A and B are shown apart, each in its own frame.
Chain A
Amino acid sequence: MIEIKSVSKWYGEFQVLTDCTTTVQKSEVVVVCGPSGSGKSTLIKCVNGLEPFQSGEIIVKGTSVGDPKTNLSKLRSHVGMVFQNFELFPHMTIIDNLTIAQEKVLGRNKEEARDKGMKFLDRVGLKIQAPKHPGQLSGGQQQRVAIARALCMDPICMLFDEPTSALDPEMINEVLDVMVELAKEGMTMMCVTHEMGFARKVANRVIFMDHGLIVEDATKDDFFGTPRSDRAQQFLAKILQH
């Protein structure tokens, strides 16, 4: 579904990604972790072309992201993305947040879009909040709306960029629950997250990054059982201490 081949990226002189290669199969859940500044968010933003990269290739369901001829908007409309800071549109009601791209990008009519929006709002348990504005919801609720918003586009895969990092501890679980459910339904997912509990529960593979390099790319059991690199061992030791 997602093929990342030898991707490198520089900000001026500074190299943020070095020769990153990995794949995400259909219905696979891949967790990307690593210390801050390791390039994991940058990598996931390269997948839908939000960040350009200078060399290598990324292919999403047969379409090359880096190709200048690719219609990026069209590609992105099939790739759901959830951000650290939710990024709902504050001037629209919750239901409008869910319907606007369906109408303007996919060309669905109002009713169809609304029905779909309500269906997914219901799934994340927030149907009752439809007429409110994002600012009136808690962080956890906003992030669930953001997931529902992405699902409304019938994505072929979902990208999560630290979806729980901006949340209060008590709200993390409500968001993770939604993500676990999605994973169990067979959604193809690539998640940048520090939630190792989530990784243990649903991930097929874990990618560990450091200084722009993919240091470890292993199945979940291998990663948590016998991480090969010292750097990954240190990282795990630190975050699993408590």
Chain B
Amino acid sequence: MSYNWNWGVFLQPSASGDDTYLGWLFTGLKWTISLSLSAWVIALIVGSIIGVLRTVPNRWLSGFATGYVELFRNIPLLVQLFIWYFVLPELLPVELGNAFKQSNPLWQQFFCAMLCLGLFTSARVAEQVRSGIESLPKGQKNAGLAMGFTLPQVYRHVLMPMAYRIIMPPLTSEFLNIFKNSAVATTIGLIELSRQAQQLVDYTAQPYEAFIAVTVMYLLINVTVMFLMRRLEEKVRVPGFVGGK
């Protein structure tokens, strides 16, 4: 097989004329990062709330949270994305649906992908938050209550600070996953990183260079995330706590 390597392709002006092909990749990188970070914020907030609800002594609340988790983690991510993007606008009130469909397509794609990825990951975060809380000795909750804390205060001051520390390693995995999963947004047309790689192949016929470059970019993102999370882990480490030092 003969293949003409041409790394110079990235500096050539792109087909759209106003950018280089490297510029295309950076546009993709920008969308991948903004999509993943905003989805992560949703995942953390919603996941924490649902995870806490799964552990509260109220059958209705914990039942609701269980249903939520099962719903979002048992439907394939791709199917969820199609539902958000293609089905949901049809279910909205007509005016709202039309307004949505007439908005900038890029924002439509971004908004749906963000919600989809955020809520999908929130179900996974919720499970980790729950397991973190349940891994704490039962006496901790009692000790908090015995001092006169209300149940929400016990969660806020006693349970959650330790639970988050304990689940830091699996949370890091989820954080990494969200960047990798963000590639599904390519299927509804969002010009994120893997989409741009495909475009590069289409326009330049240099698939190896394009995918090597994109691979390196994903790798760089995740190495950075791992590094930052490890720093955070060290920073919040509890002296003298088992597994702490």
Given known pairs A85-B139, A104-B157, the reply for A90 and B162 (CB within 8 Å) is yes
Given known pairs A48-B146, A133-B240, A135-B238, the reply for A104 and B153 (CB within 8 Å) is yes
A104: contacting residue among B139, B149, B238, CB under 8 A: B149
A residues within 8 A CB of B146? 48, 50, 76, 79-81, 83
Q: Is the CB of A233 closer than 8 A to any CB of chain B?
A: no
Are B139 and A87 in touch, CB under 8 angstroms? yes
Given known pairs A83-B143, A87-B140, A89-B158, the reply for A134 and B148 (CB within 8 Å) is no
Are A50 and B238 in touch, CB under 8 angstroms? no
User: A69: shortest Cβ distance to chain B, in Å?
Assistant: 16
Q: Which of B139, B143, B150, B158 has the most CB of A within 10 A?
A: B143
Given known pairs A104-B153, A135-B242, the reply for A50 and B145 (CB within 8 Å) is yes
- How many residues in B have their beta carbons less than 8 Å from beta carbons of A? 24
A180–B161 Cα gap in the complex (Å)? 35
From 24 to 49 in chain A, residues with beta carbon under 8 angstroms from any chain B beta carbon are 45, 48
Q: Is the CB of A229 closer than 8 A to any CB of chain B?
A: no
B residues within 8 A CB of A83? 139, 142-143, 146
User: A131: shortest Cβ distance to chain B, in Å?
Assistant: 10
Q: Is the CB of B241 closer than 8 A to any CB of chain A?
A: yes
From 87 to 130 in chain A, residues with beta carbon under 8 angstroms from any chain B beta carbon are 87-91, 100-101, 104-106
A residues within 8 A CB of B144? 89
A132–B153 Cα gap in the complex (Å)? 23
Q: Is the CB of A153 closer than 8 A to any CB of chain B?
A: yes
Q: Is the CB of B147 closer than 8 A to any CB of chain A?
A: yes
Given known pairs A76-B145, A104-B149, the reply for A91 and B137 (CB within 8 Å) is no
Are A85 and B137 in touch, CB under 8 angstroms? yes
Are A101 and B149 in touch, CB under 8 angstroms? yes
Q: Which of A85, A91, A105 has the most CB of B within 10 A?
A: A91
A residues within 8 A CB of B8? none
Q: Is the CB of B97 closer than 8 A to any CB of chain A?
A: no
Are B157 and A100 in touch, CB under 8 angstroms? yes
Given known pairs A90-B162, A91-B165, the reply for A73 and B142 (CB within 8 Å) is no
Bitwise interface map of B from 116 to 154 toward A, beta carbon under 8 Å scored 1, else 0: 000000000000000000000101101111111110010
B residues within 8 A CB of A76? 145-148
Are A90 and B238 in touch, CB under 8 angstroms? yes
Q: Is the CB of B244 closer than 8 A to any CB of chain A?
A: yes
B148: contacting residue among A45, A73, A88, CB under 8 A: A73
**Which 7 pairs show the lowest CB-CB distances between chains A and B?**
A135-B240, A77-B148, A87-B143, A136-B240, A81-B146, A101-B147, A105-B148
Mark A residues whose CB is within 8 Å of B: 45, 48, 50, 72-74, 76-81, 83-85, 87-91, 100-101, 104-106, 132-137, 149-150, 153
Other than the given A78-B148, A106-B148, 13 more pairs (CB < 8 A) read: A73-B149, A73-B150, A87-B143, A89-B144, A89-B162, A90-B238, A91-B161, A104-B149, A105-B153, A135-B242, A136-B239, A136-B240, A153-B148
Mark B residues whose CB is within 8 Å of A: 137, 139-140, 142-150, 153, 157-158, 161-162, 165, 238-242, 244
List 27 interface pairs A-B (beta carbons < 8 Å), by A numbering: A72-B145, A73-B149, A74-B148, A76-B146, A76-B147, A76-B148, A78-B148, A79-B146, A80-B146, A81-B143, A81-B147, A83-B139, A83-B146, A87-B142, A89-B162, A91-B165, A91-B241, A101-B149, A104-B149, A105-B147, A105-B149, A105-B153, A133-B241, A135-B241, A135-B242, A149-B147, A153-B147
